Amino acid sequence: MAHKILIVDDEPNIVVSLEFLLKKEGFTVAVASDGEEALAQVAAFDPDLLLLDVMLPKKSGYEVCEALRADPQRSGLVILILTAKGRATEVAKGLAIGADAYMTKPFSTKELLAKIKEFLGIA
């Protein structure tokens, strides 16, 4: 069964690329464009992995991440933060509040795919 990935980003220009890429790689993909929608989608879509932007309307990526990590039922969910905030302090914060990995934009699509596959245990 295909792994499910939820993309949370409010910029359509990145969403279109990610969605295409992940679908091409055979994942089942859903998209949320703000923090609240992200939480709703996690409940409805039950993804295996979350690509999460930090700067989001309504709820920031950090808040979403914290909320999900507070939920023991979601302990298996992989959270990969994708953001334009590249400072070491922000990377540290993201990892501290429970993200599994942190990728700073711009990133190479190949590396992103490699990372996703690594986390999902796909060779």
Partner 1 sequence: MKAKHRFLLAVVVLGLLMTGPFVVTSLIVWLDMRESEHRMLAELLLSRLPLGTVMTLFGFAIGVSVLYKLFKQYVEGLLRMAETLRLMLNANRNFRVGLEGPPEVRQLAGAANDLAAQRDALMDDVEAQIAQAKAFVEEEKNRLAALMSELAQSVVVCNLDGRILLYNNRARLQFAALAQGPTTASGGALIGLGRSIHSILEKNQVEHALEVIRLRLAAGKAALANFVTTTRSGKLLRVQMAPVLASAGEGEANLSGYVLTFENITRNIEQEARRDQALHELTEGNRAALGNIRAAVGNLIDYPDMDAALRERFVRVVADEAARMSQSLDRTMADFADTMKTRWPLEDVLGIDLIAAAQRRIGDKLDLPTKTEELDDALWVKADSFSLVFALTFLAGKLQEHCAPRELRFRLTSAEKLAYLDLIWAGPTMSSETFYTWEMDGMQVGDESSPLSLREVIDRHGGEVWYQREKAAHRAFFRFVLPLATPEIEAEAEAPKRGAGRPEYYDFDLFNFADKSIDLDRKLSELTYTVFDTETTGLDPSNGDEIIQIGAVRIVNNRLLRQEVFDQIVDPERPLKPETIPIHGITDDMVRGKPNIDIVLPAFHAFCEDTMLIAHNAAFDMRFLQLKEERTGLSFTQPVLDTLLLSAVAHPNQESHRLDAVIDRLGIAIDARHNALADALATGEVFLKLLPLLEEQGIVTVRQALAAAEKTYFARIKY
Output the smallest distance, CB 25 to partner 1, in A. Answer: 10
Q: Is 59 helix (H, G, I), strand (E, B) or coil?
A: coil
Q: If binding is defined by CB under 8 A, does position 60 make contact with partner 1?
A: no
Output the smallest distance, CB 73 to partner 1, in A. Answer: 31
Helical (H) or strand (E) element with 86: none
Q: If binding is defined by CB under 8 A, does position 17 make contact with partner 1?
A: yes
User: Which tokens sit at 13?
Assistant: 């220009």
CB 56 within 8 A of CB 8: yes
CB 43 within 8 A of CB 114: no
Q: What are phi and psi of 17, to 5 degrees?
A: -70, -45
Among 4, 58, 74, 85, binds partner 1 (CB under 8 A): 85
Count the site residues for partner 1 by CB under 8 A: 20
Among 2, 43, 44, 84, binds partner 1 (CB under 8 A): 84
- The Cα–Cα gap between 79 and 98 comes to 8
User: Among residues 37 and 53, whose Cβ is nearest to partner 1?
Assistant: 53
User: Among residues 75 and 110, whose Cβ is nearest to partner 1?
Assistant: 110
Tell me the H-state helices in the chain.
12-24, 35-45, 61-69, 88-96, 109-120
Output the smallest distance, CB 61 to partner 1, in A. Answer: 13
Q: Which residues contact partner 1 (rule: CB under 8 A)?
A: 11, 13-14, 16-18, 20-21, 24, 82, 84-86, 104-110
